[in-house]
Structures are given as C-alpha cells and as structure tokens.
Chain A
Amino acid sequence: MSDVKVVDLIKKFDKVLAVNGVSIDIKSGDFVVLLGPSGCGKTTTLRCIAGLESPDSGEIYIEDRLVNDLPPKDRDVAMVFQNYALYPHMTAFDNIAFPLKMRKVPKDEIERRVKEVAKLLNIEHLLSRKPRQLSGGEQQRVALGRALVRKPKVFLMDEPLSNLDAKLRIFMRAELKRLQKELKVTTVYVTHDQAEAMAMADKIAVMNNGKLLQYDEPSAIYHRPASIFVAAFLGSPPMNMIKTSMSRKNGDLVLDAGAFMYKLPKEIGDLVSNQASSSEVYLGVRPEDLLVSVEKSPNSVFSAEVYVVEPQGPNLVLDLRVGDQIIKALTPLTLDVKLGQQVWVGFDLKKAHIFDGRTEATLY
C-alpha cells in the first residue's frame, strides 16, 4: 500500500516552473529523501504534500485519498521546519502540546502524550523552558516532539538538520533514523546533503530543475545512476567524468580521451553505440574505483601526473592530471607518491559508467 502518492505534480511561481511533472509513490513506513541542489523544487514538492502550496496541476494522495483541496490541518501530516519554527512565547511543553490543543484533545491526555514524547526524545527536563532558552539541538528535539505527539500519517521534514553543527548533525541523523524505524511513520525528508540522504533513506528521489531524475534505493542510485547529474551529485569526492569521443577501429568501439584510448568489449560497445546520440560520450568512474599504482600493472589503462595530494584520515585523495583534465582518485594512505610523479591508473569497466555527452543519459 502506498501512503503518499504524487502524480504529475506541476507548480509554478509566476513564470518559474518550480516543480515540473514529478511523480513519486511512497510506500507505507518508508523513509524517502528528496535530494537535490537548492532551487530544484524539492521543498516545493514537500510543501505541496503538506498543503502549504496548492499545485497548478497533478494529484496528491495520502492513504489513497485525494487531498489536493484539503487544507494542511485536515491532511494529518506533521512537519519539521529548517528553523524549527517553534512558537517563541510558549514553553517547550506548550509547543509540543499545540497540535493537540488545536484539536481539542482532553487536558490529561495532552499531558500524558507530551510527557511520553518528551521521554522518547530525552527532553523531559526542558519542558518548562522557552525556545530561546534552548540550544539548537534541544530546539530541534522540541520541534520533533511537536511533530511526533500527534501520531500523524506522514512526517514531512524540510532540512531539519541543516542548522545544527556538523557533529550534532551526524548524531541527530542517526537518532532520527532510529526513531523513524521505531515508529514506522512514513517520512518525506528534504535535504541537499547527499551524505545525509545516503545515510538515512530507504529511497532517494533525486531532483533537479523541477524534475525527478531518479527514484530508487540509495545503493541503486549510487551504483546505477540514471544520468550524469545523478552520478555527479552523489558521492564525495564526486564521480570523475572523462570526456571522450567514440570511434570504430577495426570493428571495435574505442573511446578516445586524448591522453589515452580505451577499447570497449564488443557487447558493451554495441550497446553504447546503438544508444548514443552523438560521438561525444563521458566515461564516469568513481574516485574509489580508480586503481592507482606506481608500476604499470595488467589493469593499468592510462598514466597520469600527480597534481595534488590530500591526506584524509585513512585515505589519500589524489588529483591526477590526464591530458588537460583533472580527475580525483581515492587510494590507501600507504601509497607513496610525490607531486609531479607519473602513476598508472586503471579501473574495472563493471564499476564504470558511460554517459551520453548530449542527453546526459546513462548509456552503460
């Protein structure tokens, strides 16, 4: 059963198309992350689900009920905002109790439910304080409490962690995920942080320019991106895109990157050449999938010059110069390289991708 269904959603602001034909089907109990750069339409999509914006066209269903014309209060959704949006004149208790008071829940039940939620979030000792007497993380918990206390059908979260410092963000990220799994509430979560999306989501919807580019499980999005944009948006450092031109040599399909040539096996070559819209294609390889060695090995595909060396904890991030392009490679700290040194780089085609240079779609 699907809990939230968005069909062909279109939303314009004046002449700007904020959301352009987005369709998402969210299963009951799933944690779905809308991921994309700022201005991609993810927050607008969320606000349409909440009922804070009304779509220009398309349908939104919550538990199979068309909610397009329902005001937010009748949709049984709860929302957590980026700036928490706590009512500044109310104590934490009153903030959490607010949705219940608005629904005329009896006083003793309000008291019981607020305390229950406060216990779950470890904020029992903060209930008598006002928002300005709370730290960012505590305010965040109160805002969560206000969403939880109602036991809504759907949780909507609009970048709820982005105002916290890095350490607390990673802590709260895990907390949130645990809570969501415990309560099994369908959640739609908006973020521009790909690491957050990868860490939390059951499914990620990658958006750009108002369009849904790919909607799948995190590992599928990471390993089988549908386009250059998706491939480049996820992962840190992002996937290397090596510009090549495709040509036939003795019947084989060869990718010419300028600095090196790469011959594709027959079946992959046919697959790529049949789909490609032009001879310009990108070879995409994630930094961790590049194998760097000082000596030439059977896997080596091309040689490159070490341009920058950045040690990052257990790994080294190498910037390598190949012809006129710079690519990044993730290698173990044990690799001993110097600036300017020539190294050999190889990769496994199974872990690489080929993208159409014009349509940006994935060819392989």
Chain B
Amino acid sequence: MKRPYLFFIFPSFIFLFILIAYPLIFSLYYSFQFWNLATSHEPQGFIGLTNYLTLLNDPRVLNAIIVTIMLAVPTTMIELLLGLGIAVLLDRDFKGIGIFRAIFIIPTAVAPVIAGLIFRFMFYQGLGTGIIPYILHIIGIGTPERGILGDQQTALIGIAVTMIWRWTPFFAITLLAGLQSVPNELLDAAKVDGASRYQIFRHVKLPHLRKLIAIVFIICFMMHFNAYDEVFAETRGGPGEATTTLSYLLYWEGLVYYNIGLSAAMTWLIAILLIIIVNIYFKFAFKGEKI
C-alpha cells in the first residue's frame, strides 16, 4: 500500500462522515427539492433556490429573526451580568462551597420543557393565579389583562425570564471557577502594588476572565438563538407571532405542515445566519488573538 495511514484513519473518517457530514448533506440536498411529506413520501422534484427565496420573502421569517435576536441577545447579556455578580459574591473561601455549587446548578440541569411548564404555572393568571402575577400585584406593578404570557408586549419577557432562571447559575458557576483560577501570586502582587478590592477585580481578575466570558457568552447565545422548548411549553409562539422564534417556526413548518424541503432550507438559513453572527463576534471579541 502506498499510503498506509489512509487505511488507519478510514474507520474514524466513516464515523465522522455518518455523524456529521451525512445529515448536513442530506438536509442540503432536500433544501433544493419540493417535498411535502403529507402528500408524498419522497421528494417531488428539484426546484433550485425556490425554497430559499420563499423564505426570504416570507414576513414570518423576518419576524422570527427579530424575535429570536430580541430574545437571545438581552437574555444572554442579563445572564452574564447576573452570573458575574453572583460569582463575585461567592468568590471567597467558605465551607460547603461544593454542596452549594451542586444545589446551585439544579436550574441548569432541569429540562427546558419542564422549566417552561413550571414557569407557565408561575405566570398563570386566572383561577389559581401563579406566584409571579400575585407578587407583581402586591407590589403594585400589576400585569396585563391576559396575563404576562398572553400579552404581545410581555410574552417574550416571560420566556426570557425562564431562560435567565435556567442559565444564570451556569454563568455564575463557570465564572466562579474562572475567578478562583486567578493565580494567587498575581493577587498578592496587586495587593502589594496598592490596588483596592475593586481595582484588583477590574485590572486583574476581569482581564483574566475575558476569554472565558467571551466563550461562555457565545455558547449560551447560540443556545438561546435556537430556543424552542420554553416557547413550546409556555406560549406556542403566541400570542400571534410575538414569541415565534426561528426554531419554533422551523418546527411548525417541518413537523406540523410537513414542508420538508422548506424546513431543510430554513435549517440552512439559520445555520448561515448563526455562522455569520458568531464570526463577527469572534472578530470583535478576540481581535485576531489566538484562542
């Protein structure tokens, strides 16, 4: 054999192909086909870019993009700020930090659809009002007539709150680990150099966390960009299309209307959009540094 190494990497190549490449190629192929599963069990013909053009001209898609970004960006930012705040508060030696961490991570470990259902009850307004509207009424803020999840203006906030509840502990624990990995010598040096607690945080700890924050932020952003479970459990995309995210729209198109070709094209559209956003983000977040 001329190139024996090819033989040895062949098995892993097959695995990679089946696991990663095949689904991608499969969906790419069908995104160029007309195929409604309700009417045919196989693709009904090549239609070029028609699926893509249909989507780009669909006002629902534009709406979904806006809803998705309106949900993902502020949610991730709030999680980051809250998580960082909690991490700073916890960044000291105390007994039982291990147990605390284990308890603290529970929200993140809860399945998103369960979290969605829990919050749906907590947001519920009517016979047996949930805790959140109850408290909001007591402190005088009040809620919309149809409830938080029933109002066009507030439904997205309700979903965001659910996601923040789930993911803030994840930020807090990751950033706490980052804070505790700052070398002691650096902290000692800063103390002797005359830095106050705040200055140590601002000039030593925060720069140390920078890359970690950048990575955790974008991972959670991508997760929130693909938000589906909470939407499904809490609002089903409504009222109207106020909470229809791209993923929820995709689910609707593919598994309710059975437009396989169209939803394959939409998968690719979402992926391309995310790739563009992530690349721009990395350019700004790392400015050409090696990660």
Contacts and interface: CB of A to CB of B under 8 A. Distances in A.
Q: Does B bind A?
A: yes
Nearest to A104: B194
Given A87-B203, A87-B207, A89-B210, A103 B185 contact: no
A88 B194 CA distance: 18
A52 B192 contact: yes
Nearest to B199: A102
B203 A85 contact: no
Contacts of B210: 89
A136 to B, nearest CB: 15
B42 interface: no
A85 B186 contact: yes
Nearest to B207: A89
A245 to B, nearest CB: 50
Main secondary structure of the interface of B (DSSP, over half): helix
A85 B189 contact: yes
Contact of A72 (B192, B204, B207): B192
B129 interface: no
A110 interface: no
A286 interface: no
B191 A52 contact: yes
B192 A73 contact: yes
A107 B188 CA distance: 25
A73 B189 contact: no
Interface string A172-207: 000000000000000000000000000000000000
B194 A81 contact: no
Interface residues of B, number: 18
Given A83-B185, A89-B210, A103 B194 contact: yes
A99 B191 contact: no
Interface in B180-197: 183, 185-186, 188-196
A146 interface: yes
Contacts of B203: 87, 98
A51 B186 CA distance: 15
Given A87-B203, A89-B210, A79 B192 contact: yes
Contacts of B185: 81-83, 85
Interface residues of A, number: 25
B188 A73 contact: no
Which of A47, A73, A82, A83: most chain B CB closer than 10 A? Answer: A73
A85 B183 contact: yes
A71 interface: yes
Contacts of B188: 47, 50, 52, 72, 79, 81, 85
A77 B192 contact: yes
Contacts of A118: none
A346 B177 CA distance: 64
A109 to B, nearest CB: 15
A50 B192 contact: yes
A50 B193 CA distance: 11
B193 to A, nearest CB: 4
A79 B189 contact: yes
Nearest to B206: A89
B193 A98 contact: yes
A78 interface: yes
Contact of B186 (A52, A79, A87, A150): A87
Given A85-B183, A87-B186, A73 B204 contact: no
Nearest to A73: B194
19 contacts: A50-B192, A52-B188, A52-B192, A72-B188, A72-B192, A79-B192, A81-B188, A85-B185, A87-B189, A87-B203, A87-B207, A89-B207, A98-B193, A98-B195, A102-B193, A102-B194, A102-B199, A146-B189, A150-B194
Interface of A: 47, 50-52, 71-73, 77-79, 81-83, 85, 87-90, 98-99, 102-103, 146, 150, 156
Q: List the 4 closest pairs (A to B, CB-CB), nearest first.
A: A85-B189, A85-B185, A73-B194, A99-B193
